[in-house]
Structure 1
Amino acid sequence: MKTYSVAVIPGDGIGPEVVNESLKVLKAMEDVHGGLKFVTKEFDWNCSYYLKNGRMMPENGLEQLREHDVILFGAVGDPAVPDHVSVWELILPIRKQFEQYVNLRPVKLLRGLESPLRYKSHQDLDFVVVRENTEGEYSNSGGLTHEGTPYELAVQNNIFTRYGSERIIKYAYNLAAKRSKKRLTVATKSNAINYAMPFWDEIVKEVGTNYNVETQLYHIDALAAYFISRPEEFDVIVASNLFGDILSDLGAATVGGLGLTPSGNINPEKKYPSMFEPIHGSAPDIAGKGIANPIAQIWSISLMMDHLQMPELGELIVNAIEEVLENTAIKTPDLGGKNSTEDMGNAIVSQIYKLGL
């Protein structure tokens, strides 16, 4: 029996609702595999915790999480707490302290769905965005001065290190080398960001000499346009923290919305636990209504299975999701249906058993 410990942080808003459905999928993985056990421990760290305790997690929160093999995260954010507080005191410390330097975000048009890009097929929309996850534009460097005066000044520094840039670019090249197109697209903006981006581009060229992979460098503005006009060109895309964040959300929009796209915050060396989550937020406007789409959260379990070196289970989850979308009438409101979060979760679990047993 192989046992994995899973730290579960449901978070805010719709987070607990979609996480509950993903836990059903973890149980189905145990039943289908036979020799597998997931031991979960839930942590109530969210904006309500902050309002009671003045912090998003305990002082030893990271030490508690480090005891686990993986982390399952729902969503964070509530109107009662400023977003920069909830994000910078919970999810970003986890990403940074656990060296989850790979943010892996697949962009795939699932069977049974139609892209808002009506002229693009399922074959056209199937790529992955590899986002640098620990430095770049989301580095905690800068400050305010002369607050409250006409001379108030905000400084926000971007930090790009050779070490951080090399490791994410190498990861992206290794991933591209394993895929059929063997093509890597690199997001840059070296024509305007005249220090960090030429530095990034040069590292791409240095690392790329070690791989038999076609490499394309595009300025971020043109690349965003190509996501709409010619997404079929892409296979693996590597980008800095901010650029990867924006591109992957744009990619999600092309395949049906944020409720459909998962994310893995990966420490490839497995020195620390990796964290799996949807890319959508806490959606407080629909929290408690039972209508949130759980597909992105459930799909994040597929990424978790891949990380734990059980790709056959990861593939099973995606196949089950597609079976529900293609061959049943189950649809949550964001997909034009009237079914609940629980309806969708139960339907996917049912397909997992049907396909896997």
Structure 2
Amino acid sequence: MMNTIAVIPGDGVGPEVAREATETVTALGLDLTFDVLDHINADTYLETGVAMSEDDLQRVRRAGGVLFGAVGDPRVSSTGYARDILLRLRFEFDLYVNHRPAALLHDRVSPLRDPARRAIDLVVVRENTEGLYLGVGGVLRGGTKDEVAIDEEVNTYLGVSRILDYAFSVARRSVCMVDKSNAVRHGGQLWQRCWCEAVARRPDVETSHLYVDAAAMNLVADPTRFDVVVTNNSYGDILSDLTAQLAGGIGSAASVNLNPETGFALFEPVHGSAPDIAGKGIANPIGALESAALLLDRHGHSGEARALRDAVRRTVAAGRCTPDLGGTLTTAQAGAAIRAELLATGW
């Protein structure tokens, strides 16, 4: 069932944007079908206490990948709900790469003053299965004025070396490794050791190293200097949101959670469930559509992926987009405008 894609619309604006993504892929007339698991959401969790059942997981296993909407609901206070869906999928399928591209949608949506520095076109490669997000740690004397909370960051030689190798594999001209090895001593030493080994394996690629605070500063000052930025789980989470904003906004940002060895991948807009605008019909579908373009690339439809990205940029340039990008269209209207652009160009 490699041509069947599991779809998990999820919560908040997730179903709204996932619908535009699946309709757009369907409009391309490809050999891809969708298995929609629209019961994996907060409603089901609140009713049953189960975020994702074993049967659900087996349906995902039988698919050729996952198109994800968003997870998170203000009615659910526990972080365990989201972890039991998104992080569970990342760990169950060892999706150790989080690949987050950022390319300028249009000059007018860049927050940067200098036109020469607006044309961001880079990828943040984030280690996806280690670091601070493993949940290692605990609380002592919880709920008292003497409470102590500890979260442990975990780095392994395998985890660090393989994410660095992936970063080099997708580089067009350069790789910048970001860490905080001057302050985070033990994990920093491991990242530095693995970095030196990776650089030695790829002398043909330009390389650089920045501490995470300097990287954030340099990304804002001139993002055009970067091609691939590779870093750990928490730093990658933060820096990829920064680069998304530099490219036009978090609502337009795409990502893929990937295991390069197995080929299994989960495609996900970065914006989250955005409960404050859920149901209002104003969510930006571009993040989901750009994630669908990444899906098309992975399934051998690079021409269609390129056409979809071009259609997105033409609609944004024409102002046929949602309010966050300066337009007046609803989520559905913005998706329809992009499909109309595809149709106009013969797709």
- TM-score class normalised by the smaller sequence: over 0.9
Counterpart of 1:192, as a letter, is A
Partner of residue 15, structure 1 = 14
What is the CA–CA distance in structure 1 between the aligned matches of 2:261 and 2:342, rounded to whole Å?
Answer: 30
Structure 1 unaligned blocks of 5 or more: none
Matches within 5 A, 1:173-252: 173-176=168-171, 179=172, 182-211=173-202, 212-252=204-244
Give me the TM-score of the superposition, normalised by structure 1.
0.93
1:105-148 Cα deviation digits (max 9, x unpaired):
11110136430112145873111101111111211211112223
Partner of residue 293, structure 1 = 284
Matches within 5 A, 1:1-357: 4-30=3-29, 33=30, 36-82=31-77, 84-111=79-106, 113-121=108-116, 124-176=119-171, 179=172, 182-211=173-202, 212-270=204-262, 273-326=264-317, 328-357=318-347
Q: Is the 8 A contact 2:12 2:279 kept in 1?
A: yes
Q: Is the 8 A contact 1:259 1:295 kept in 2?
A: yes
Q: Is the 8 A contact 1:15 1:282 kept in 2?
A: yes
Give 1:202 shift: 1.2
Identity %: 40
Give me the TM-score of the superposition, normalised by structure 2.
0.95
What is the CA–CA distance in structure 1 between the aligned matches of 2:91 and 2:298, rounded to whole Å?
Answer: 18
Counterpart of 1:75, as a letter, is A
Counterpart of 2:226, as a letter, is F
What is the CA–CA distance in structure 1 between the aligned matches of 2:120 and 2:92, rounded to whole Å?
Answer: 33
What is the CA–CA distance in structure 2 between the aligned matches of 1:121 and 1:268, rounded to whole Å?
Answer: 35
1:271-320 Cα deviation digits (max 9, x unpaired):
6x311010001111111111111000010001111112322221111011
Q: Is the 8 A contact 1:260 1:296 kept in 2?
A: yes
Q: Is the 8 A contact 1:112 1:325 kept in 2?
A: no
Structure 2 unaligned blocks of 5 or more: none
Bigger CA drift: 118-127 or 340-349?
A: 118-127
What is the CA–CA distance in structure 2 between the aligned matches of 1:356 and 1:265, rounded to whole Å?
Answer: 31
1:141-181 Cα deviation digits (max 9, x unpaired):
111122233332211111101111111100001111xx1xx
Alpha carbons of structure 1 residues 131 and 324: separation in structure 2 relative to 1, 3 Å:
same
Bigger CA drift: 141-150 or 260-269?
A: 141-150
What is the CA–CA distance in structure 1 between the aligned matches of 2:109 and 2:277, rounded to whole Å?
Answer: 24
Give 1:355 shift: 2.1
Q: Is the 8 A contact 2:118 2:223 kept in 1?
A: no
What is the CA–CA distance in structure 1 between the aligned matches of 2:54 and 2:307, rounded to whole Å?
Answer: 38
SS of equivalent to 1:278: coil
What is the CA–CA distance in structure 2 between the aligned matches of 1:310 and 1:340, rounded to whole Å?
Answer: 28
What is the CA–CA distance in structure 2 between the aligned matches of 1:152 and 1:114, rounded to whole Å?
Answer: 45
Give RMSD over aligned pairs. 1.7
1:30-78 Cα deviation digits (max 9, x unpaired):
2xx5xx2324333311111110111211144322211110101001111
Q: Is the 8 A contact 2:112 2:118 kept in 1?
A: no
Q: Is the 8 A contact 1:77 1:83 kept in 2?
A: no
Q: Is the 8 A contact 2:177 2:208 kept in 1?
A: yes
Q: Is the 8 A contact 1:184 1:216 kept in 2?
A: yes
Alpha carbons of structure 1 residues 40 and 26: separation in structure 2 relative to 1, 3 Å:
farther
Paired residues, what number? Answer: 346
Counterpart of 2:8, as a letter, is I
1:89-110 Cα deviation digits (max 9, x unpaired):
1100101111111111111101
Q: Is the 8 A contact 2:71 2:82 kept in 1?
A: yes
Counterpart of 2:215, as a letter, is L
SS of equivalent to 2:4: strand
Counterpart of 1:251, as a letter, is T
Counterpart of 2:168, as a letter, is Y
Give 1:338 shift: 1.6
SS of equivalent to 1:10: strand
Give 1:87 shift: 2.1
SS of equivalent to 2:44: helix
